[in-house]
Amino acid sequence: MLNPYIPKLARIIKIADQTPDVKLFTLEFADRKDRAEFSFTHGQFVMAGLLNFGEAAFEICSSAIKTKTFDLAVGRIGDLTEKLHQLKTKAVMTIRGPFGNGLAEKFYQNKELLLVGGGRGLIVMRSFILDYLAGALPAKKVNVFYGCLDEKNLLFKNEYKIWRKKFGLDICLNKPEKSWLGQRGVITVLFNDKQDFTDTVALIVGPPVMYKFVIEELQKRGLKDEDIFVSLERRMYCGIGVCQHCAIGPYYVCKDGPVFSWAQIKGIPGAI
Amino acid sequence: MMTNKRLRQFIEYLSRQNIVWAPQRIGGELVMERVSDPKNVELSSELPLHSFKKILVPPQEALFNYENNKIFPAVNPPGQVIFGLTVVDLKAVTFLNQIFAKDPHFQNRLKKALIIGQSLMPKGKHQFFLEKFEEDVLEHLKFDVFLAAQKDKFLVYTGSEDGQRILDDFGHKDYEHIEYVGPIREAGLDSQMQKIRGKFYEDDKIWQDLGKICIECGKCTLICPCCFCFDIFDQPDLKAGAGKRCRAWTACFYTDFSEVAGREIEKKKPKFLRSTPERIRFWYEHKFVRCPDEISLPGCVGCGRCTKVCPVGIDIKENLQRILKGKLK
């Protein structure tokens, strides 16, 4: 019987500072076989950890077609991530997964895909974006709405130039410097009445407070609940729907999510 | 048939070579404990306060060991005998076997354990679901040997090859084998359970009411033979770079259960189960919504232990009746 708690080992091969408290780790499985077998759907996550310091859930933010290495963006917000931020390249991490349901291609095939990311919600969007840039995402078009606190917290800044050649990236900042020329306020300011959302599927990822307001904006513009997807965060330990920490109503975020359609979970108390 | 005297000899025989757990009266309370003197084993219709849970699902166990970035499998658990389980607790063993169907740690421990059940039915005031013992329940229960009490002797059943082997070795030939056909009767989820599942979300006020009295001590989760939720964490060794990744019981009533990392708000970490009513609903939701949905079994065998230990008098039987009443008119 396969032991789902035994992790694979992966080596950090690159660390790049993103913001004052987010680092981008590029990892490679130590074992050749693990490298060859690794594949995931956009929106899936891994349980990544460090021996002596435990595990936590991280969404994969690199390409789903080039999986020889993979990226995790880690915010320094807890005990484990504090320790991860002290690591240097060649350090070894533990990896289990990928787990759960991401956003399968069938849901947005030949449709427009609107990615709405708030704060660190942009992290998982990068895997969709990279594959769209490579011509490997079956969406007709991609648009990204990104709400962030201020300029110094913008993620993947050095990639925007390339991104903008292929798709729209709308950014608003909540507390920008005076010099900021773009939009200001919460993420919903990026919605206006000129936008055409027919034939659009949306994925929303961000802090819990954001979901309700973005869903309302999308519904106003005619999106059906089946075409609005959210990715949820919860405390997780097992990753396989046993330990109960991530349960919402009848579902497990780790196993049935983390990506759910709004139609699937809108009636569940406490889901968002 | 096995006589009382022969049964005593059987317990002695088992104790000679194995770790044996059985109901014993300690400090006035019947509990499941390790047998040091077979004479103390008490076979009765009373449910031991502590169930078998700590034996099959230990409070803490290593998932694997590590040293210098190498991973080593956890040490195999020893074989042991769990003696004298009532049908109520055998139901809980069967339930856990479904929950941990793909868990090598649990399966290994269960495979190595010899489970010996008995038919005396608990009649405490807190129990519900089961009234009297009927033989046809046996094919739906996980056990190795089962003792069905007659007037002054026992009919002996086996539920596994291990059970047959131990009886053969002991020299008892008079038994009947019952093939385990799975945990669920043909009819599927019990009709009363279906009703509870259907009406679960109708009366939300019940959680508000219970939230006012529950003190979130978590005793009900510890004592429940079906509660199994766990944390996973690393336990470093004194030797640098070595340690073990462990899992350990937790309780959904503890405030850190749903906590996530992030900026603190009013000195509190962000969490998703924010209030007592939300947490007590979560406990019931697990047992009467998620478990039935996943494995067609409720996460409750009606043993009533949670009611017995609750310091503020929350009674699961009453609460299920209230859920069954449904929407308040």
Q: Which 3-state string (H, E, C) describes chain A?
A: CCCCCCCEEEEEEEEEEEECCEEEEEEEECCHHHHHHCCCCCCCEEEEEECCCEEEEEECCCCCCCCCCEEEEEECCCHHHHHHCCCCCCCEEEEEEEECECCCHHHCCCCEEEEEEEHHHHHHHHHHHHHHHCCCCCCCEEEEEEEECCHHHCCCHHHHHHHHHHCEEEEEECCCCCCCCCEECCHHHHCCCCCCCCCEEEEEECCHHHHHHHHHHHHHCCCCHHHEEEECCCCCCCCCCCCCCCEECCEECCCCCEEEEHHHHCCCCCCC
Decide if pLDDT at B8 tops 90: yes
CATH architecture of A8-99: Beta Barrel (2.40)
Percent residues over pLDDT 70 in chain A: 100
Instruction: Give the 3-state secondary structure of residue B128.
Output: coil
Chain B CB contacts of A245 below 8 Å: 229, 231, 257-258
pLDDT at B80 over 80: yes
| Residues A242, B99: C-beta atoms closer than 8 Å | yes
pLDDT tens track of chain A, all 272 residues?
899 999 999 999 999 999 999 999 999 999 999 999 999 999 999 999 999 999 999 999 999 999 999 999 999 998 999 999 999 999 999 999 999 999 999 999 999 999 999 999 999 999 999 999 999 999 999 999 999 999 999 999 999 999 999 999 999 999 999 999 999 999 999 999 888 898 999 999 999 999 999 999 999 999 999 999 999 999 999 999 999 999 999 999 999 999 999 999 999 988 98
Query: Which residues of A are annotated as part of the binding site for [2Fe-2S] cluster?
Result: 238, 243, 246, 254
Q: What are the domain boundaries of chain A?
A: 8-99, 105-231
- ipTM of this complex > 0.90? yes
Segments of B131-199 assigned E as strands: 145-149, 153-158, 176-177
Name the residue of chain A whose CA is nearest to B263's CA.
A77
Instruction: State whether B273 and A270 contact (CB < 8 Å).
Output: yes
Comparing CB atoms, the residue among A9, A53, A235 nearest residue B259 is A235
Q: Which residue has the higher pLDDT, B188 or A81?
A: A81
Q: What predicted TM-score, i.e. pTM, was given to this entire model? A: 0.95
pLDDT at B328: 63
Smallest Cβ distance to A234: which of B63, B104, B258?
B258
Residues of chain A with Cβ-Cβ distance to B105 below 8 Å are 3, 5
pLDDT per position as a tens digit, B64-75: 999 999 999 998
- As a whole number, the mean pLDDT across chain B is 93
> Which residues does B56 contact at the CB level (< 8 Å), separation at least 6?
B82, B93, B96, B106, B109, B110, B113
- The answer as to CATH 2.60.40.420 being correct for domain A105-231 is no
Size of interface A-B (CB pairs under 8 A): 106
- Would A8-99 and A105-231 be classified into the same CATH topology? no
pLDDT at B263: 80
Q: What per-residue confidence (pLDDT) applies to B329?
A: 52
Q: Worst-scoring range by mean pLDDT, A205-209, B91-95, B181-185? A: B181-185
Q: What pLDDT digit, counting tens, does each position of A90-130 carry? A: 999 999 999 999 999 999 999 999 999 999 999 999 999 99
Select from B69, B234, B262 the Cβ nearest to the Cβ of A77: B262
Q: What is the tens place of the pLDDT at every residue in B269-310?
A: 889 999 999 999 999 999 999 999 999 999 999 999 999 999
Q: Which two tokens stand for residue A156?
A: 């993947």
pLDDT in tens, B249-273: 999 999 999 999 888 877 888 899 9
> Which of A:22-51 have CB within 8 Å of B?
49, 51
Give the chain B residue whose CA is nearest to the CA of A75.
B262
pLDDT at B135 over 90: no
Question: Which B residues, 282 through 311, put their C-beta within 8 Å of a C-beta on chain A?
Answer: 282, 285-286, 289-290, 293-294
